[in-house]
């Protein structure tokens, strides 16, 4: 049984008095985590959507907003640009995401990073969440959290403009890139999805690559055949495939995805593809976008009798952390500056003594066990207006 966190697209900004406190608290949390777990494990935790959302809630950001990604990432980026903790955050929202390639090559030299490989991974992961996973969300945010010893995590966010919702995608460096590659996805469950990242789509991906390697010209002929079939709808098989006269939910999903994405293929790029080793290499080709990938999938299914996965990946409610200081937009209550500052003062002292006082570690572990037993009134956590 899964709980879901909605991420509506929200405008507005974080007031400077709150942003500065978010930075102070995030700095303390990062220092404690790095001391306790090391850089690699600290970064790995950010690849967990529940941890990331809990941190967002803890520092006072809305629990149900697209800003839970963009603001929290911006806070981390600012903190780690001012303090040398062995971790950097690259990219961010909008134009910052487009600058990632340039930023990668400016990473400090003592970081154990292959810049060329990291840039390729960044582009591939963006392409996967835009084209291989067609869930109705268009990426507008990508951030890389990278450690000096070479570990990294990627956090992306897409928007569905028509529904005014956002979805966040988390990646850890040990990903397979395909076959259920995400370390987590946060948002609402979607019904109309083409999921070529699924292990159930492995055969379909292989057929697509084989077809392109065999004859791009034949692929274009096949494309004309399936478009004519779909437009004419002159057989029971194609009607069933598209969801007509059928109770099959998967068939209905196909038709909705076709309507959402549009059936179109980039003929010029297909003819220039040449030989590709695998589906990942295909995704990295410029001009191969969601519509072309959808067309290739339909060719593989309709003509070559292979199946893709048309189910949304598992999507993951850490709302109790909103009770720490409240939320920016007053859910479950307004942020209390005095309480926030008192906790910051206590935590700063804790952070200073942690390294030398083993008894304090035991005390914090005891607090953790107590916190697990807390039953907080989650009905007070209302959607942000």
Q: Report pLDDT digits (tens) over 184-194.
A: 998 888 888 99
| Cβ–Cβ < 8 Å for 384, 334 | no
Helix (H, G, I), strand (E, B), or coil: what is residue 176? coil
**Model confidence at 58: pLDDT above 90:** no
Q: What is the pLDDT of residue 1?
A: 32
Across the range 225-233, mean pLDDT stands at 79
Q: What is the pLDDT of residue 263?
A: 80
Residue 318 has pLDDT above 50, yes or no: no
Q: Report CA torsion sign: 282, 287, 290, 296.
A: negative
Name the pLDDT band for 12 (thresholds 50, 70, 90). low
Mapping DSSP to helix (H, G, I), strand (E, B) and coil, where does residue 168 land? strand
**What value does the mean pLDDT take over residues 29-43?**
90
Looking at the predicted structure, is the pLDDT value of residue 15 above 70? yes
What was the pLDDT predicted at 7? 55
Instruction: Give the rounded percent of residues in the chain with a pLDDT score beyond 90.
Output: 50
Q: Please provide the average confidence, as pLDDT, over all residues in the chain.
A: 82
Instruction: Please report the pLDDT score of residue 53 as a whole number.
Output: 82
CA-CA distances (angstroms) from residue 64 to 118, 328, 382? 31, 11, 9
- How far is Cα 189 from Cα 162, in angstroms, rounded to an integer? 16
Residue 249 pLDDT greater than 90, yes or no: no
pTM beyond 0.75 = yes
pLDDT value of residue 18: 86
- pLDDT tens per residue, range 153-204: 999 999 988 888 889 999 999 999 999 999 999 888 888 899 999 999 999 9
């Amino acid at each position: 049984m899964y709980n879901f966190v909605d991420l509506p697209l929200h405008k507005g900004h974080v007031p400077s008095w709150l942003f500065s406190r978010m930075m102070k608290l995030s700095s303390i949390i990062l220092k404690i985590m790095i001391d306790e777990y090391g850089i690699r494990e600290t970064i790995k935790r950010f690849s967990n959507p529940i941890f990331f959302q809990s941190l967002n809630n803890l520092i006072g950001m809305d629990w149900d907003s697209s800003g839970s990604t963009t603001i929290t990432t911006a806070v981390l980026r600012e903190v780690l640009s001012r303090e040398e903790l062995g971790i950097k955050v690259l990219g961010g929202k909008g134009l910052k995401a487009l600058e990632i390639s340039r930023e990668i090559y400016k990473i400090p030299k003592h970081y154990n990073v292959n810049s060329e490989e990291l840039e390729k991974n960044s582009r591939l992961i963006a392409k996967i969440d835009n084209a291989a996973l067609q869930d109705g969300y268009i990426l507008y945010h990508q951030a890389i959290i990278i450690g000096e010893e070479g570990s990294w995590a990627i956090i992306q966010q897409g928007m569905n403009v028509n529904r005014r919702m956002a979805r966040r995608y988390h990646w850890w460096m040990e990903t397979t890139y395909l076959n259920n590659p995400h370390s987590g996805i946060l948002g609402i469950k979607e019904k109309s999805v083409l999921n070529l990242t699924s292990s159930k789509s492995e055969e379909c991906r292989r057929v697509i690559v084989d077809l392109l390697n065999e004859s791009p010209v034949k692929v274009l002929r096949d494309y004309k055949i399936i478009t004519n079939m779909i437009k004419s709808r002159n057989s029971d098989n194609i009607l069933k495939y598209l969801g007509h006269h059928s109770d099959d939910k998967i068939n209905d999903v196909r038709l909705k995805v076709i309507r959402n994405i549009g059936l179109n293929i980039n003929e010029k790029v297909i003819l220039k593809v040449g030989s590709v080793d695998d589906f990942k290499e295909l995704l990295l080709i410029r001009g191969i976008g969601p519509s072309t990938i959808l067309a290739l999938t339909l060719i593989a299914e309709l003509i070559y009798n292979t199946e893709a996965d048309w189910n949304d990946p598992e999507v993951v409610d850490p709302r109790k952390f909103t009770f720490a200081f409240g939320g920016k937009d007053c859910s479950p209550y307004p942020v209390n500056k005095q309480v926030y500052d008192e906790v910051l003062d206590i935590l700063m002292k804790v952070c200073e003594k942690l390294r030398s006082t083993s008894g304090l570690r035991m005390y914090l572990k005891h607090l953790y066990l107590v916190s697990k037993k807390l039953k907080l009134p989650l009905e007070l956590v209302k959607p942000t207006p």
